[in-house]
């Protein structure tokens, strides 16, 4: 499947010319990232890595992913407000996964205090790959849903114009007209603004950026649990990180997270929504009957959500978990072993699955993971533009992300629920795992076919 003609992909003179034009165009349109060498410098930037051409995505599957997003927004919101579900689902995981256990400890403490903030703000991203079945068909399968720091809403708003210009220069005018407008940043901002409005603030929205340690040092709660940082009241806390253990560099980091969770500020995400993003919750939701209990009078909603699920299997202790271990050891190339982490680069593949499971197959340590069917997408050819890397035609795999934004009041219907845009990331097929920030995938645009 290739929407860009092979003669174009193999025209060396054209590709060399397009490479320079593409990089300049990315810089002009603000498709930028800080550099690894000077990550905190506001004066040194480079273009964010991206594909030279947009990659083909079947139109029907693309629109399926967009259509189901508001249902996933509702699902995340429902589960986050279901303490029984979270307690039971994560009971085995928090015994062996220290990081999830720390988060869950904060969740329990906040619940015991009967935190009074009823406003819930969710900015999430559901990620998919296109799975080839043995009959030659293709289906949409969810990889994960990111409920914290669902990144690249800003950059993916700017890449359509970059690819449009490249295609015009290459005289691919028909393909140029197929590039979709995409502005998730605006939709995510609408969600933030709605939560700000419900909090009761009427001024323009000033933004400050602080690390956990800064909040611990200068933050405080007043008697009504309003949060103040540097003497300013904070209406919304957006967590840019906090989803990996290394984001918590000291006990002060954890103290800051707890202070913010206890506060009256709207959290994005709040601690319960963060926990919904764990792989164990994803696996539990795929069990027969679970969606039906969460959406008892909406069979069509259940059908649409379940259609995107890949096979997900528990590693809990007991007969079912033992069966999962045996299944993985017998055919490791058919599965992915996933820990309770967001962000690329954490998953385990192939023979490494055997090494990891052999060491813990009789131990409760295995309950820190779930097993998932490995998606088998069809590779396409493209060029990956990455600073310092030679340009070559590569066999590539793509992952489609769909952004959702919602605002609700606990116990009530949503007041805002939208699918706000998409993100396509592409990597060389030689890499099993890893995102853009991990240095493996690059930004892309879907070319609907």
Domain residue extents for the chain: 6-310+375-448, 311-374
116 pLDDT above the threshold of 80 = no
Please give the structure tokens belonging to residue 433.
């795992």
Q: Please name which of 335, 359, 339 lies closest in space to residue 349, comparing C-alpha atoms.
A: 335
Average of per-residue pLDDT across 27-34? 94
Long-range contacts of 304-307 (CB under 8 A, 24+ apart): 304/67, 304/68, 304/71, 305/68, 305/71, 305/72, 305/75, 307/64, 307/68, 307/139, 307/140
The residue with greater pLDDT, 426 or 410, is 426
CA distances for 244 relative to 102, 339, 341, angstroms: 12, 11, 7
Look up the pTM and report it: 0.94
Given this model, what pLDDT does residue 1 score?
Answer: 44
The helix (run of H) or strand (run of E) holding residue 6 is helix 6-9
Q: What is the mean pLDDT of residues 48-75?
A: 97
How many other C-beta atoms are found inside a 10 Å radius of the C-beta of residue 251?
A: 9
Confidence category of residue 392, pLDDT binned at 50, 70, 90: very high
pLDDT, position 434: 59
**Does residue 449 register a pLDDT over 70?**
yes
pLDDT at residue 8, rounded to an integer:
93
CB atoms within 10 A of CB 371: 26
Per-residue pLDDT reduced to its tens digit, 190-224? 999 999 999 997 778 899 999 999 999 999 999 99
| 72-76, 110-114, 133-137, 381-385: the lowest-pLDDT one | 133-137
**What's the Cα-to-Cα distance from 382 to each of 22, 158, 212, 398, 449, rounded to whole Å?**
14, 20, 40, 11, 16
- pLDDT computed for residue 173 by the predictor: 94
Q: Where are the beta strands (DSSP E) in 290-392?
A: 312-313, 335-339, 348-349, 369-373, 380-385
Grouping H, G, I as helix, E, B as strand and the rest as coil, residue 359 is helix
The predicted structure's pLDDT at residue 3: 76
Strands 446-448 and 55-57: parallel
Q: Stretch 225-249: mean pLDDT, rounded?
A: 95
| Distance from the Cα of residue 430 to its chain's centroid | 22
Q: Which CATH superfamily is domain 311-374 in?
A: Glutathione synthase lid domain (3.30.1490.50)
Q: Are 253 and 247 in contact (CB under 8 A)?
A: yes
Side-chain half-sphere of 404: how many Cα atoms within 13 Å? 29
Q: How confident is the model at residue 433, as a pLDDT?
A: 61
The mean per-residue pLDDT over the stretch 80-94 comes to 95
Angle (CA) 389-395-396 rounded to 5° is 85
pLDDT band at 437 (very low <50, low <70, confident <90, very high): low
What average pLDDT score do residues 371-378 get? 93
In order of 32, 66, 211, 314, 436, the CA distances from 161 in angstroms are 14, 21, 33, 43, 20
In this model, does residue 75 exceed pLDDT 70? Answer: yes
Q: How confident is the model at residue 436 (pLDDT cuts 50, 70, 90)?
A: low
Residues 281-299 pLDDT 10s: 999 999 999 999 999 999 9
The pLDDT value recorded for residue 412 is: 78
In the prediction, which pLDDT does 435 show?
61
pLDDT of residue 322: 94
Q: Whole-angstrom Cα distance, residue 49 to residue 27?
A: 11
pLDDT at 68 over 60: yes
Decide if pLDDT at 429 tops 50: yes
Return the structure tokens found at 181.
């407008």
The DSSP 8-state label assigned to residue 179 in this structure reads B
What percent of the chain is modeled with pLDDT above 70? 96
What pLDDT, on the 0 to 100 scale, is given for residue 134? 80
Distance of CA 138 to the CA centre of its chain: 22
Could you tell me if 337 and 328 are in contact, meaning their C-beta atoms sit under 8 angstroms apart? Answer: yes
Of 340, 442, 424, 428, the closest CA to residue 99 belongs to 340
Strands, DSSP E only, in 25-150?
Answer: 32-34, 45-47, 50-51, 55-57, 119-132, 138-146
Residue position matching structure tokens 């599957």: 61
Q: Could you give the residue numbers annotated as active site?
A: 125, 144, 146, 151, 279, 338, 342-343, 425
Q: Helix (H, G, I), strand (E, B), or coil: what is residue 427?
A: strand
Q: What does residue 311 show for φ and ψ, rounded to 5 degrees?
A: -65, 130
What order of strands is seen across the sheet that includes strand 232-234?
A: 219-221, 227-229, 232-234
Please check the confidence at residue 29 and state whether its pLDDT lies above 60. yes
- Give the single-character DSSP code of 247: G
Q: Which residues contact 207 (CB under 8 A, 6 or more apart)?
A: none
């Amino acid at each position: 499947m290739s929407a860009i003609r092979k003669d174009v992909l193999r025209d060396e003179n054209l590709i060399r010319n397009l490479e320079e034009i593409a990089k300049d165009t990315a810089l002009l349109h603000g498709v930028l990232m800080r550099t690894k060498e000077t990550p905190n410098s506001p004066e040194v930037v480079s273009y964010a890595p991206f594909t030279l051409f947009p990659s083909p995505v079947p139109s029907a599957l693309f629109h399926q992913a967009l259509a189901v997003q508001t249902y996933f927004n509702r699902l995340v919101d429902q589960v986050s407000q279901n303490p029984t579900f979270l307690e039971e689902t994560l009971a085995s995981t928090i015994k062996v996964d220290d990081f999830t256990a720390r988060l869950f400890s904060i969740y329990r403490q906040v619940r015991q205090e009967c935190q009074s903030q009823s406003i819930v703000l969710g900015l999430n991203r559901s990620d998919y790959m296109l799975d080839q079945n043995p009959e030659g068909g293709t289906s949409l399968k969810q990889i994960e849903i990111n409920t914290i720091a669902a990144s690249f809403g800003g950059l993916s708003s700017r890449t359509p114009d970059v690819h449009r210009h490249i295609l015009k220069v290459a005289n691919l005018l028909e393909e140029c007209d197929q590039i979709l407008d995409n502005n998730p940043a605006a939709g995510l901002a609408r969600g933030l603004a709605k939560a700000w409005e419900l909090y009761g603030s009427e001024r323009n929205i000033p933004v400050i950026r602080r690390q956990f340690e800064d909040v611990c040092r200068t933050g405080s709660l007043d008697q009504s649990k309003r949060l103040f940082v540097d003497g300013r009241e904070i209406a919304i806390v957006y967590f840019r990180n906090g989803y990996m253990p290394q984001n918590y560099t000291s006990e002060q980091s954890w103290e800051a997270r707890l202070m913010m969770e206890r506060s009256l500020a709207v959290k994005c995400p709040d601690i319960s929504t963060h926990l919904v993003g764990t792989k164990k919750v994803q696996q539990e939701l795929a069990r027969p009957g679970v969606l039906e209990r969460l959406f008892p009078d909406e069979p069509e909603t259940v059908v649409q959500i379940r259609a995107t699920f890949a096979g997900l299997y528990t590693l809990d202790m007991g007969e079912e978990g033992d069966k999962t271990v045996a299944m993985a050891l017998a055919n490791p190339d058919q599965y992915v072993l996933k820990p309770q982490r967001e962000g690329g680069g954490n998953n385990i593949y192939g023979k490494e699955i055997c090494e990891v499971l052999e060491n813990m197959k009789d131990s409760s340590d295995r309950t820190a993971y779930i097993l998932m069917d490995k998606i088998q997408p069809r590779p396409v050819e493209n060029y990956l533009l990455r600073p310092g890397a030679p340009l070559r035609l590569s066999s590539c795999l793509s992952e489609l992300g769909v952004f959702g934004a919602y605002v609700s009041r606990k116990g009530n219907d949503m007041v805002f629920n939208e699918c706000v845009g998409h993100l396509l990331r592409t990597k060389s097929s030689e890499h099993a795992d890893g995102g853009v920030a991990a240095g493996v995938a690059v930004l892309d645009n879907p070319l609907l076919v």
